[in-house]
């Protein structure tokens, strides 16, 4: 029964992330932590699946160029590594989830009502380097930076669903690879690779689901992402209190 429940959760999140680019880490991390997994074992479980989905999305949109990637690598990835190391060795002493969940709720609400807030996109572009540093730090410390990544991506790409998802996929892919390698090298727990077969899930469902992705309009796509970020923020806030 426990295995069936685990498979059901992962399969549902694989479907969501195959469509919207986020979901597996965003929702999977708090769900599996709530079910009793620790941070490292949760990452070992879900990162290979997330990396597989992101790679499939990058291959699917291989002709889509993104001019923000170098900036992402330079400002986000070093802080991802630093804060992941802090989490590995000091994670039990730091409760950052409360602050992250509050900021996530505020950010998603702002994006949902951004048409009423003038110059929001310009503000995000002006401070994009600081935002990328924050995304890397938050994701390294909590594995919950995906919502901020999706919000940032939708803003800098003018809510174009193709470029938004491609940027998210790249971010999740490189961050996931760095996280996985870091956990393998510096992790403090014994590694369990017995469930690597879960990567079969995205290999089965990804391409059929792109039929639905191609039929989505940009506004619906961005609204779903921001509503998911808001929902997750509320859940994370409840869990952290």
Tokens representing residue 196 in the block: 């690597």
The model's confidence at residue 119, banded by pLDDT at 50, 70 and 90, is low
Residue 172 CA to residue 107 CA, distance in Å, equals: 19
The whole domain housing 192 covers 2-240
| Average of per-residue pLDDT across 13-21 | 89
What pLDDT score was predicted for residue 124? Answer: 73
Query: Would you state the pLDDT for residue 174?
Result: 96
Contact at 8 Å (CB) between 45 and 149? no
Q: Is the pLDDT of residue 114 over 90?
A: no
Structurally, the chain folds into a number of domains equal to 1
**Please, how many CA atoms are within 13 Å of residue 64, restricted to the half-sphere of its CB?**
19
**What secondary structure letter does DSSP report for 157?**
T
Instruction: Name the nearest CA neighbour of 138 among 37, 229, 70, 69.
Output: 229
Give the up-direction half-sphere exposure of residue 175: CA atoms within 13 A in the CB hemisphere.
35
Asked if the model's pLDDT at residue 64 lies above 70, the reply is no
Q: What is the mean pLDDT of residues 76-84?
A: 95
């Amino acid at each position: 029964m426990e295995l069936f429940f685990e498979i059901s959760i992962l399969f549902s999140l694989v479907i969501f992330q195959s469509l919207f680019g986020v979901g597996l880490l965003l929702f999977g991390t708090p769900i599996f932590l709530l079910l009793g997994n620790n941070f490292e074992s949760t990452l070992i479980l879900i990162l290979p699946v997330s990396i597989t989905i992101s790679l499939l999305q990058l291959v699917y949109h291989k002709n889509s160029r993104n001019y923000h990637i170098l900036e992402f690598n330079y400002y986000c990835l070093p802080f991802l590594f630093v804060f992941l190391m802090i989490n590995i060795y000091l994670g039990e002493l730091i409760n950052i989830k409360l602050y992250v969940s509050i900021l996530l709720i505020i950010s998603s609400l702002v994006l949902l009502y951004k048409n009423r807030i003038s110059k929001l996109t310009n503000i995000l572009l002006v401070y994009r380097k600081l935002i990328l540093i924050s995304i890397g730090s938050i994701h390294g410390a909590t594995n919950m930076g995906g919502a901020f990544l999706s919000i940032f991506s939708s803003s800098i790409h003018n809510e174009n669903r193709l470029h938004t998802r491609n940027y998210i996929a790249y971010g999740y892919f490189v961050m996931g690879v760095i996280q996985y390698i870091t956990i393998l090298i510096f992790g403090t727990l014994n590694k369990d690779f017995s469930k690597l077969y879960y990567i079969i899930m995205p290999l089965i469902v990804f391409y059929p689901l792109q039929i639905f992705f191609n039929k989505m309009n940009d506004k619906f796509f961005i609204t779903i992402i921001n509503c998911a970020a808001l929902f997750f923020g509320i859940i994370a806030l409840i869990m952290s209190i």
